[in-house]
Amino acid sequence: MDTYDVIVVGAGPAGLTAALYSSRAKLRTLLLESGLPGGQMNTTNEIENYPGFPDGVSGTELSALMERQALRFGAEKRTAAALGLELDGNLRVVKTDRGDLACRALIIASGAVPRPLGCPGEAEFRGRGVSYCAVCDAAFYEGCRVAVVGGGDAAVEEALYLTRFTTEVILIHRRDSLRATKVVQDRALACPGLTILWDTVVQEIQGKDQVQAVSLRNVKTGQTFTESVDGVFVYVGLTPSSGFCQTLHPTSVLGYVKTDENMCTGIPGVYAVGDVREKMLRQVVTAASDGAIAATHAEKYITESLL
Amino acid sequence: MSTLVEVTKDNVEFEVKNSSLPVLLDFWGPRCGPCMVLMPTVEELAVKYADKMKFCKVNTAENRRLAIELKVMSLPSFLFFRDGQEVARLQGKFGAAEIEGQIRTTLG
């Protein structure tokens, strides 16, 4: 079995930073990724709050830059999906779809994926009007009317992005105020192509071959109504990609991995960083910070365990 | 070099509709992260099934009208043709395993 000092599972900003710190500390480091390096940054149009980029940076560009920096100091990269962990031996074993891999210290940076709405029609029309990636699909909706569901940063920022293509975006939010950052909220409230429906939830996504309408309900008045739309973009939060971490306890009710402030999971030498970790603020900058902290403690752990 | 044939509105008739082999048509875009993830796998499959199926791709950034004509509204999307007729499509949530599975089903 291939053995490394450190295996980092996931190459989003947390994993890429962990690999950067670990390889720069001359540890033999493997970066595992099942998709594209950069993680959720790849489906983000513009990142405005990562320090060092005063004019903002596109998600794909920042992904490519972070990957280049992570690999510069000799971290190895492999495409594989983690399926399970074996943590009882001296070495930590990551079981993947392309064989087992072993390491002294393990850094879990597997991130999170968009959470579905869970309403009727959502699964049926996925790819036929229901989307979770405005950057991927916005251009198809030129001259169309679309709905965006959610009230956080992602929902509002991507709704604003969609207004560049569409005739109108309706933002459907279940509360009477947005959770998004103030500056983003101000932009949304001032944007002529964006209409916000407050206190409103989606009951069903309707259509024939493709999405044609959403049926909605006002949670305060109980009134139900329908809006004609050609597409529905869903931004209602995240689900952690922690299915392969079942051997790790405890995870939170929602499946996030619990750690201490050193990113340690409670099992010595096993760390969790970024969006998969239970924490308050999930941002590129906090993911990067987690990665640096975990790699530094992993190095300390490896050095001490060899004494 | 890519093993996939670039399809546009000008050659879709010739490359897809009039193809004697079944056709896989991969709709992608340069800003679609998930599309880029699948690309190497599709290239591998194109080599593996080279004599049984024709592998084509559409850059939707340059051929949006063609995509919409074929009712593609989301990336990535994979359409499968036999005798010029669409017989199946993969949209929404799918990965490499589903693509190869659909290739086998289409080949029969």
Task: State residue B95's pLDDT score.
Answer: 83
Q: At B94, is the pLDDT very low, low, confident or very high (cuts 50, 70, 90)?
A: confident
* Residue A250 in this model has a pLDDT that exceeds 80: no
Is residue B26 pLDDT above 70, yes or no? yes
Structure confidence at residue A226 (pLDDT):
98
> Which residues 227-246 in chain A show a CB within 8 A of chain B?
231
Question: Is A191 in the active site?
Answer: no
- What proportion of chain A, given as a percentage, has pLDDT over 90? 87
From the list B32, B71, B74, the residue facing A209 with the nearest CB is B71
Q: How confident is the model at residue B2 (pLDDT cuts 50, 70, 90)?
A: low
CATH topology of domain B5-107: Glutaredoxin (3.40.30)
Fold of A2-114+238-306: FAD/NAD(P)-binding domain (3.50.50)
pLDDT of residue A122: 96
State the average pLDDT for chain B: 92
Q: What is the mean pLDDT of residues A168-197?
A: 96
State the catalytic residue, choosing from A136, A176, A186, A260. A136
- CATH superfamily, domain A130-234, is FAD/NAD(P)-binding domain (3.50.50.60)
Q: What is the pLDDT of residues B45-66, one digit of tens each?
A: 999 999 999 999 999 989 988 9
Q: What mean pLDDT do residues A56-78 have?
A: 95
* Domain residue ranges of chain A, discontinuous segments joined by +: 2-114+238-306, 130-234
Q: How far is A244 from chain B (nearest CA, A)?
A: 18
**Residues sharing a CB contact under 8 Å with residue A7, sequence separation 6 or more, in sequence order:** A29, A30, A32, A92, A94, A101, A102, A103, A105, A106, A107
Q: What is the ipTM of this complex?
A: 0.76
